[in-house]
Amino acid sequence: MGKKLFIKTYGCQMNVYDSARMADLLTPLGYGITEDQADADMVILNTCHIREKASEKTFSELGRLRAQRHERQQSGRDTIIAVAGCVAQAEGAEIMRRIPDIDIVLGPQTYHRLPEMVARATRAREEKLGRSGKPFRGANLLDTEFPAESKFDHLPEAAAPQGVTAFLAIQEGCDKFCTFCVVPYTRGAEFSRPVQQITAEARRLVDQGAREITLLGQNVNAFHGEGPAGGSWNLARLVRHLADALPDLRRIRYTTSHPRDMDDDLIRAHGELPQLMPFLHLPVQSGSDRILAEMNRQHDADHFRRIIERLRKARPDIALSSDFIIGFPGETDADHRATVKLIEEIGFAQSFSFKYSARPGTPAAVLERQVPESVMDGRLQEIQALLERQLTEFNRATIGRRVPVLIEKPGRHPGQMIGKSPWLQPVHALLPAGTIGREVEIEITELKHYSLGGQPTGLQPAAGFAAEPQPERAIA
Ligand code: SAH
Ligand code: SF4
Ligand code: F3S
């Protein structure tokens, strides 16, 4: 009988991608994914270290997991517990010390060694359990190396299709060392996959039904992968190549970008390639030049403004999203006002804002003048309210417009389908099931919280949920 694997994923899309690859790697060992943690023979926590809160979750979740393992052991069933991802990389030894019954701790760059580790953990647990008859503490296998070989060279073909929209990691790691950030330490040095490897994976995804691919990397626009005939390709060239090589790939996105790496080529591609979606997540963190310098972002606020200007010239309907850190050490009211001003000037379709979290080992953590929590709270509230207003405004502006929606899956109501607009807005409409994987033109008629509702323009207006929808008009 097959064994059951439960993976809990925290953090960014890179972790989502990695979790899927770990599942692929364990398929040959007989593991299939379960959604029921209590029933799992193996649980992997794929963790995130970016802020203190994210990282603390690992330890509380491990506590729950051990209790659950104990319960399963009462009925003669065992559970392998593994911690992967960025907390594993940063605090692997500490996890082993604090929680002796852990079996496996592995960093983001060694997950291709997981099958070997699982085989060893299984043997160790079986031997020791059999010998003593008592619950056994843990296999204690730790691998947080940054190996010379690339994990991507050791991946089996993806076992389960990802669906209409898929992630594809093309770049990993970071050499930028922003003073607040753990990523350069948890993911290691910047590294790009070769173009041929990426193209092969993209082709497989499209063959399995993907119509949209989001190219992933911690600094995805710093991509410099080896081209098929040698030499180094930039992201724009890769995107053009994928758009050319894969006619069934309707939409391409990429995330996360750094303002320093938005080159002319990439900006031009936004104006020239219909497959490249008019939505860009470009974290700026702050609107204050002084804080940007302290953060070691290596650009000022005007550099960001100029990029946005050029992007909008190339692709007037481009929507923007960003990340903001509120309360970086030394942030004054004037710095905060500069961030508010930048947000007001640009107008974002969506954004994320976080209170600064001091991370162990980062230069900013030991800076004096850490901002008091209450001050951070006030500033965060102001920024979040502003971003929320901009999001609602942006969504409201689509009402009455006809937009191409890539249909992804059935919605909650009978007959309802859900998809995304080019600007990443969730859209629902009454449509036949056969529309999954197709772009359908929808006239947007309503805004509900964060999603939009509408009518397919090629259909008779549907009379209630029971109505039998007519064949829709797909957008050519
Ligand atoms: N590579 C991306 C960001 C990766 S981390 C970039 O360069 O922009 C994702 C986001 O988490 C960051 O954009 C930042 O806004 C936030 N973040 C990172 N470290 C943080 C910290 N110590 N405290 C609060 N937010 C942080
Ligand atoms: Fe972190 Fe800065 Fe690298 Fe982004 S660019 S991952 S924020 S160090
Ligand atoms: Fe978190 Fe690591 Fe991603 S720290 S945000 S999971 S790169």
Chain segment 281-331, per-residue pLDDT in tens: 999 999 999 999 999 999 999 999 999 999 999 999 999 999 999 999 999
Find the 474 Cα to ligand 2 centroid distance in Å. Answer: 40
Q: Is the CB of 109 under 6 A from ligand 3?
A: no
Q: What is the DSSP string of 415-442?
A: TEEEEE-TTS-EEEEE--GGGTTSEEEE
* Total residue count of the chain as it appears in this document: 476
Q: Provide the pLDDT confidence category of residue 449 given band limits of 50, 70 and 90.
A: confident
pLDDT of residue 157: 76
Instruction: Tell me how far apart the alpha carbons of residues 195 and 186 are, in angstroms, rounded to a whole number.
Output: 25
Q: Is the CB of 90 under 6 A from ligand 3?
A: no
Instruction: Tell me how far apart the alpha carbons of residues 54 and 76 are, in angstroms, rounded to a whole number.
Output: 33
Which of 51, 216, 218, 359 has the most ligand 2 atoms within 8 A of CB, as the residue to mutate? 218
Q: Confirm or deny that 375 is annotated as ligand binding.
A: no
Sequence-separated (6 or more) residues with CB below 8 Å from residue 112? 25, 149, 151, 153, 154, 155
pLDDT of residue 135: 57
Residues 80 and 42 sit within 8 Å (Cβ to Cβ): yes
374: left (phi over 0), alpha (psi -120 to 50) or beta: alpha
Neighbours of 468 (CB within 10 A): 9
Find the 412 Cα to ligand 3 centroid distance in Å. Answer: 31
Q: Looking at ligand 3, which residue's alpha carbon is closest to its atom 1?
A: 48
Instruction: Tell me how far apart the alpha carbons of residues 377 and 361 are, in angstroms, rounded to a whole number.
Output: 24
Q: What is the DSSP string of 378-423?
A: HHHHHHHHHHHHHHHHHHHTTTT-EEEEEEEEE-SSTTEEEEE-TT
User: Virtual CA dihedral for 342, 345, 350, 355, nearest 10 degrees?
Assistant: 20
Question: What is the mean predicted confidence (pLDDT) over 187-214?
Answer: 96
All structural domains of the chain: 3-143 (3.40.50.12160), 157-396 (3.80.30.20), 402-461 (2.40.50.140)
For residue 353, which atom of ligand 1 is closest to its CA?
15
Please check the confidence at residue 470 and state whether its pLDDT lies above 60: no
Classify burial at 443, counting beta carbons within 10 Å of its beta carbon; exposed 0-12, middle 13-18, buried 19 or more.
middle
369: left (phi over 0), alpha (psi -120 to 50) or beta: left
* Ligand with the closest atom to the CA of 356: 1
Residues 318 and 279 sit within 8 Å (Cβ to Cβ): yes
Q: Looking at ligand 2, which residue's alpha carbon is closest to its atom 1?
A: 181
Residues 119 and 29 sit within 8 Å (Cβ to Cβ): yes
Find the 178 Cα to ligand 1 centroid distance in Å. Answer: 9
Please check the confidence at residue 467 and state whether its pLDDT lies above 50: no
Q: Confirm or deny that 146 is annotated as ligand binding.
A: no
Q: Provide the pLDDT confidence category of residue 460 given band limits of 50, 70 and 90.
A: very low
Find the 183 Cα to ligand 2 centroid distance in Å. Answer: 6
Instruction: Tell me how far apart the alpha carbons of residues 389 and 395 are, in angstroms, rounded to a whole number.
Output: 10
Find the 13 Cα to ligand 3 centroid distance in Å. Answer: 8
Q: Confirm or deny that 178 is annotated as ligand binding.
A: yes
Q: Confirm or deny that 48 is annotated as ligand binding.
A: yes
Q: Provide the pLDDT confidence category of residue 162 given band limits of 50, 70 and 90.
A: confident
Distances from the Cα of 449 to the Cα of 213, 236, 357, 402, angstroms: 26, 35, 29, 19
Centroid of chain to Cα 145? 23
Q: Looking at ligand 1, which residue's alpha carbon is closest to its atom 4?
A: 218
Q: Provide the pLDDT confidence category of residue 100 given band limits of 50, 70 and 90.
A: confident
Please check the confidence at residue 102 and state whether its pLDDT lies above 50: yes
Find the 416 Cα to ligand 3 centroid distance in Å. Answer: 34
Q: Confirm or deny that 63 is annotated as ligand binding.
A: no
Question: What is the mean predicted confidence (pLDDT) over 205-224?
Answer: 96
pLDDT, tens digit, 9 for 90 and up, residues 28-72: 999 999 999 999 999 999 999 999 988 788 989 999 999 999 899
For residue 182, which atom of ligand 3 is closest to its CA?
4
Q: Confirm or deny that 22 is annotated as ligand binding.
A: no
| φ, ψ of residue 168 in degrees (nearest 5) | -140, 115
Q: Looking at ligand 3, which residue's alpha carbon is closest to its atom 7?
A: 183
| φ, ψ of residue 386 in degrees (nearest 5) | -65, -45
Find the 180 Cα to ligand 2 centroid distance in Å. Answer: 8
Q: What is the DSSP string of 22-67?
A: HHHHHGGGTEEE-S-GGG-SEEEEEE--SSHHHHHHHHHHHHHHHH
Q: Which residue ranges have their beta carbon within 6 Å of ligand 2?
A: 174, 176-178, 181, 183-184, 218-219, 258
Sequence-separated (6 or more) residues with CB below 8 Å from residue 268? 236, 314
Residue with tokens 């790496």: 261
Q: What is the mean pLDDT of the chain?
A: 92
Q: Looking at ligand 2, which residue's alpha carbon is closest to its atom 2?
A: 178
For residue 175, which atom of ligand 2 is closest to its CA?
3
β-bridge mates for residue 158, sequence order: none
Taking each helix axis from N to C end, the angle separating 333-346 and 373-396, rounded to the nearest 10 degrees, works out to 10
